[in-house]
Amino acid sequence: MSDDTLDYGIALDGADNDSNGKAVITDYVDSIAKALLAELKANMPTMLAERRAFFASFEDRLYQRWGRALDLFDTCRVVALEAGEEFHRRGSGRGGKADIVYRVLVRLHARACLTASEVGSMLRTGHAEAALARWRTMYEIAVISYLVKEHGRDLAERYYLHGAVESLKGAERYQQHCVRLGYRPFSEDEMRKMRAQSEALCTRFGDSYRHDYGWAAHALGVKKPAFSNLEQAVKLEYVRPYYMWASRKVHATSKGIALVEDDTHGHVMLAGPSNGGLCDPGQMTVISLLQCTGCLLGLDWDVKTLATFRALYYLVGETERAFIEAHHELKKASQAVRDRRQTISGHRRRRLRRERYGIRAMQLWRRNDSR
């Protein structure tokens, strides 16, 4: 915690106008914090061992419920990865590895495989909302892959070179805050080179190229395109509700902190892993991975690549069904737990009523007897 943060905390207590009081509070808090830190470090090995054992047990139980779906998910990921590796080794595609469309799609596919691996790790540890947030990236990769595949070389080149424009924006923002962050700024020569490169591209491709999705402006006929324009162009706008839903798991909106509906416990504030919610991110990730793989392999279909893609297609369908089956089984088990709790609660209520009525009857009997 920085000194500024500590000063702000003290100021909230009204001690900032009294320098002596502020110094006393600061020293007192600091002494407590150091003692607490020493205790935490002493207990750290035991605490972490207990937590790790708890989460290992949890992940074992999660696998018992979702194991088949998770194994099929990993199989989809491996098939897609190996298909992309084989395609890249052969240098397939129009014009081979020198073709810009090929270079863009093979890199997008590699990133899709990486993101799918991240989603798989989150699913296995019960972090479904994080997995859904990462699917959002998978979906963006799929949309852009479709767009590049459809519009070809010109769009692929604009997309590939747009990194220079993004780099300049990042560098300018970095320059504003680097000193406070403790880093050295870019030199004037470095900034001049980045500006020259960005300006040359904007001169070549038009002023719209400066915007975040400016690389797609010419192909879509939109001066300042948004991601929704890209979705519409590849006819995936019907997925928008899922994309918006996943976006709430990325940004700190009020909707993002809403209570989560847990199948067993009702509405809860989720602060750790859960064995629910894996169905949607699991399904949607393998679908997006299939789409990205199809865009890459579709550059140069042959019997082998077509058969591989068809096998992956069937495997994705089986994976979807496995996630749905596990989801329904979880809901049934959760309903049984809720029913059992309601039965126990009913027994408890009846016992309490009997006890209350029994006490009341005893009081009346004693009162009558005393007369």
Write the pLDDT tens digit of every residue in 50-108.
999 999 999 999 999 999 999 999 999 999 999 999 999 887 555 555 699 999 999 99
* Model pLDDT for residues 150-187, shown as the tens digit of each residue: 999 999 999 999 999 999 999 999 999 999 999 999 99
pLDDT for 15 equals 47
* Residues 265, 241, 145: CA angle, nearest 5 degrees: 120
Q: How far apart are CA 133 and CA 71, in angstroms?
A: 21
Positive or negative, the Cα torsion across 189, 194, 198, 201?
A: positive
Nearest to 111 by CA among 145, 150, 86: 145
Task: Band the pLDDT of 22: cuts 50, 70, 90.
Answer: confident
Is 19 or 99 the better-scoring residue by pLDDT? 99
Cβ-count burial of 185 within 10 angstroms (0-12 exposed, 13-18 middle, 19+ buried)? Answer: middle
Q: The tokens of 353 are what?
A: 């009523």
Positive or negative, the Cα torsion across 265, 269, 272, 273?
A: positive
Q: Tell me the pTM.
A: 0.84
Q: Check whether 362 has a pLDDT greater than 50.
A: no
Mean pLDDT (the chain) is 87
pLDDT for 144 equals 98
The amino acid at 210: R
The amino acid at 146: Y
Q: How far apart are CA 97 and CA 103, in angstroms?
A: 6
Domain ranges of the chain: 68-251+276-362
* Model pLDDT for residues 264-280, shown as the tens digit of each residue: 556 778 888 999 999 99
pLDDT for 338 equals 73
Task: Band the pLDDT of 220: cuts 50, 70, 90.
Answer: very high
Cβ count within 10 A of residue 140? 19
Task: Band the pLDDT of 253: cuts 50, 70, 90.
Answer: confident
pLDDT for 100 equals 94
Q: How far apart are CA 156 and CA 213, in angstroms?
A: 13
* Model pLDDT for residues 304-336, shown as the tens digit of each residue: 999 999 999 999 999 999 999 999 999 888 888
- Give 200's Cβ-side CA count (13 Å radius): 8
